[in-house]
Amino acid sequence: MDKAELAGAPRELLTPRVRLESGRLAHAPALMAAINASLPDLRYIAWGQHPVDLAWAESFSQRGERYIDDGDCLIYSAFLRDGGELVGRIDLHSFDLETPRAEIGYVADSRQAGRGLMREAVLAVVELAFSLGFLRIEAISDARNARALRFAASLGFTQEAVLRSHARDPQGGLCDEVLFALLHPSVR
């Protein structure tokens, strides 16, 4: 596996209820609306501390497109197949192609919560990652983010460690993070 293969990953994934599209500029208005509607649930994410405008969402989306084109990141916007509303955003990043492993991140639109849509979307991206040759997918969350910790565990990820004073939180303080991992069935 190399960056060129990752840059050539499928640009669309379908699940029974969700259509995942490779992140692009056209998604910026929906992303802006989702972030602004979900601010109370984004308190552990640096860019989720205040409302965003369309210019910010467009810049964020364009930067993501470059990462995708360069094979540095896989980003998917998840939309309802019926109705087209944004469900959330999922990305695979921090690749270690020697192992091979990647970190997964996900942010849901709070207006879609409780329906299992993000679960469906994230599992589709995990399945894609394994089909591309990744053997380990990691999820790292602020230790205070109980919702994210429960979500990772519900996806089948195993908590492996608490990383003490591992990162700065959005307010600038040191915070502990929890490392979860899911291994490809061939290495479990």
pLDDT, block means (10 residues), the chain with 188 residues: 89 97 95 96 91 97 95 96 95 96 96 95 98 97 94 97 94 95 93
Q: What was the pLDDT predicted at 1?
A: 80
pLDDT of res. 170? 86
**Tokens standing for residue 116:** 């299992």
CB burial string 85-107: b at 16+ within 10 A, e below: ebbbbbbbeebeeeeebbbbbbb
pTM, entire model: 0.94
Q: How far apart are CA 74 and CA 90, in angstroms?
A: 8
Residue 61: per-residue pLDDT = 96
CA–CA separation, 45 and 41 (whole Å): 9
Q: Which domains are present in the chain?
A: 3-134 (3.40.630.30)
Question: Exposed, middle or buried by CB within 10 Å (0-12, 13-18, 19+), for 183?
Answer: middle
